[in-house]
Structure 1
């Protein structure tokens, strides 16, 4: 082999370089790879690109990668694109080489190219490259295609891509497919995919399974699922675990979960923790503390219980004031009670969670699922008695005295959440605005 390499045999020189590399003689490996690459061996050119990149000589790495990539080596083109993007910040050149690698069969390059297009808002091009990667077996791109389809209002397409990704082992896709099926009133199908996701420790799926078990009256199973989700730090599931433990008579566990959720800033949990401490443990001081925490966050029942407790104990400590709602004005109305206590329809909850995930997937400012559920459930609730053929906005504005524009805005956001693709996803400030409208609307209609 040595003699052949010395006589200019490119393949022999490449093998000799690999032999020296395996023995740890990097200098000799580089020598023979350079001779092989000069004689046209693309594998040696690729190896030299790796060698120089590893040793920090980026100009040389680019030169050797380009030599191999220009001759059609997909891995060299991919490495070159990554180097140009991450080491030099040359987005234009990186995109060119990602595309070259993708067209040569690299699904990794196709996915990276899709993500670059997504970042620039070029969703059609992103979809094309995600599709190429997904059809070549990339589950993450199939998952992303599901989001692109859902955001465009193409729910059947989203279902197909999420199912493809889920059956390839993508946990997030199984969860989102479950939500989409739940939103489409297919609870059995939703549960099946929640179980797939929960089997891979997806906390959101465990939470959904807890809700399903609770709806069936299976408290022990509900507790197991909610506690799995709660262990991931999900405050709403810590609260639900607390409620279920109360129903099961496990005061110690209920105190644990309400306490964790209350410490995480959840006013409803703080209120219930206070009730539990007083009723089950006789801890008036602890109850007062958590009532006060909840009242300061705007929890009206906590403020009322705190006032009663202070009167009973003769304490002179001040009760936090929870402001009453102001009269509505053309601008955003003041919030009424911050806690939405009615049970929302499962499909509305699923829509809210899908929106939260879709916005997060696009890198948008985070939204709270509970806020979206309240917006959706409020509109659903206040329009149940809508007379036939009546315009919902006009009817609600007339009955409540709210400014028509505020009610119309609430309706528009409801539509955007329930029928994706018709309008951009709402921003947090917009949700805050319509949430205030929803609360004021319920107050004026006497529907708290």
Structure 2
């Protein structure tokens, strides 16, 4: 319907007063453009009474903003019952979000999706996911993705990943990444890292980094660091650090130390320490003492790190306190320091699997376990089984060598398998992961692995 033009008022008014529904609708639009809401409502009601669907839809919007929920539902329903997809989508959204009636909302979302609404297809997919109807959810996501919805393509990639379908995972994350979805490009990079394709992973990290994805910048920083390119690594880590990521602020600090820029290193270690990162606090303490002779500041940050369970910080703090004659507190830290943390560098495929698992758990509404804890579980298994040439009965071999109970080692193996082969079992929760992490640390202690 053509938009009203300036100067049309007399002509439209005459036609509308004579019962022309189209003219009444256009007159309502003209009044709405001038900010005369009451007059717009009046003429849209006249037009809707004459069968104008657009006016019924506009009245739904009018009442949603200025009137009552019940009136908005009535008018949206009047427009939606004629097959108007937008009205059906708005109606379903009101029924779901304002009335809390998912059953009625689903009915109208289905009508809207059948009429071609991409937004309705996506909402249906998400509703089906929440109710556990994953097959139906995939169908609605496919409809939305086929119509260009990159968020649904991204979600299809995750559903496929969680089901262990590698081909579908690649297909949908590639579709979303090509459509400009930075998170999909990053996830595809992780997936390729997890399947040992570092060149392909790097290409997708670069694609995600163009949209300033901090995780991609962090990964690219690691790639540059592995090549000995400290200046490039610094640029990537600082980009990720600027997004508030404490782990990347710490890494930026390390690289700046290597480059001899102690002022920048102090800045990044300080920011990470302020976020509660114990490793950064420890290194900030070292930097303050070594470069600036600030023993009071060093002691402050050693204490912060030690209280968070950092072994080396506790030992350094004990040494400083002893030198200052504060032997009582020094003895507390030196006699019973926190146990050393697991500090072995992890393989990229293991950190990638852990990140994908955390993202999948969070996307499903759960609270993901720590990525670092998942990496420790995966890395521990790799390290303690490295001497074994025949892995056909690795569990029995570990039990015989370590003395750890069979059921604990089997549980550790099961959780490891789930992280490496998604779809083989449900994702582990925080409690379960802490349980197997205890087993992993017990294995390392008994086998003398540090």
Unaligned runs of 5+ in 1: 326-335
Match of 1:300 among 301, 308, 311: 311
Relative contact order, CA 8 A, sep 6+: which one is greater?
Answer: 1
Whether the 8 Å CA contact 1:298–1:322 is kept in 2: the answer is no
User: Paired residue for 1:92?
Assistant: 103
Match of 2:92 among 50, 73, 81: 81
Unaligned runs of 5+ in 2: 1-11
User: Paired residue for 2:278?
Assistant: 267
1:58 aligns with 2:60: no
CA distance, structure 2, for counterparts of residue 316 and residue 132 of structure 1: 70
TM-aligned CA deviation for residue 4 of structure 1: 4.0
TM-aligned CA deviation for residue 120 of structure 1: 1.9
CA distance, structure 2, for counterparts of residue 54 and residue 299 of structure 1: 55
Aligned length: 438
TM-aligned CA deviation for residue 226 of structure 1: 0.7
User: Paired residue for 1:140?
Assistant: 151
CA distance, structure 1, for counterparts of residue 126 and residue 335 of structure 2: 47
3-state SS, counterpart of residue 318 of structure 1? helix
Whether the 8 Å CA contact 2:317–2:333 is kept in 1: the answer is no
1:160 aligns with 2:162: no
1:223-302 equivalent positions in 2, closer than 5 A: 223-302=234-313
TM-aligned CA deviation for residue 375 of structure 1: 1.0
TM-aligned CA deviation for residue 74 of structure 1: 0.3
Q: Summarize deviations over 1:317-370 as a string: whole Å, max 9, x none.
A: 413458989xxxxxxxxxx84522111111111111111111111121132211
CA distance, structure 2, for counterparts of residue 362 and residue 306 of structure 1: 43
CA distance, structure 2, for counterparts of residue 313 and residue 22 of structure 1: 76
User: Paired residue for 1:330?
Assistant: none
CA distance, structure 2, for counterparts of residue 322 and residue 101 of structure 1: 68
CA distance, structure 2, for counterparts of residue 263 and residue 7 of structure 1: 72
Q: Summarize deviations over 1:131-173 as a string: whole Å, max 9, x none.
A: 1111100111111111111111112211111111111111111
User: Paired residue for 1:123?
Assistant: 134
Whether the 8 Å CA contact 1:14–1:41 is kept in 2: the answer is yes
415 and 338 in structure 1: CA distance in 2 versus 1, 3 angstrom threshold: farther
Whether the 8 Å CA contact 2:63–2:72 is kept in 1: the answer is yes
CA distance, structure 2, for counterparts of residue 289 and residue 159 of structure 1: 48
CA distance, structure 1, for counterparts of residue 115 and residue 334 of structure 2: 65
283 and 3 in structure 1: CA distance in 2 versus 1, 3 angstrom threshold: closer
What is the TM-score normalised by the length of structure 1?
Answer: 0.92
Q: Summarize deviations over 1:148-204 as a string: whole Å, max 9, x none.
A: 111111122111111111111111111111111111111111111111211211111
Match of 2:185 among 159, 165, 174: 174
1:15-414 equivalent positions in 2, closer than 5 A: 15-319=26-330, 320-321=332-333, 337=339, 339-414=341-416
Shifted more, 283-292 versus 374-383: the winner is 283-292
3-state SS, counterpart of residue 327 of structure 2? coil
CA distance, structure 1, for counterparts of residue 413 and residue 387 of structure 2: 16
CA distance, structure 2, for counterparts of residue 434 and residue 14 of structure 1: 67
User: Paired residue for 2:445?
Assistant: 443
CA distance, structure 2, for counterparts of residue 381 and residue 86 of structure 1: 51
CA distance, structure 2, for counterparts of residue 255 and residue 137 of structure 1: 46
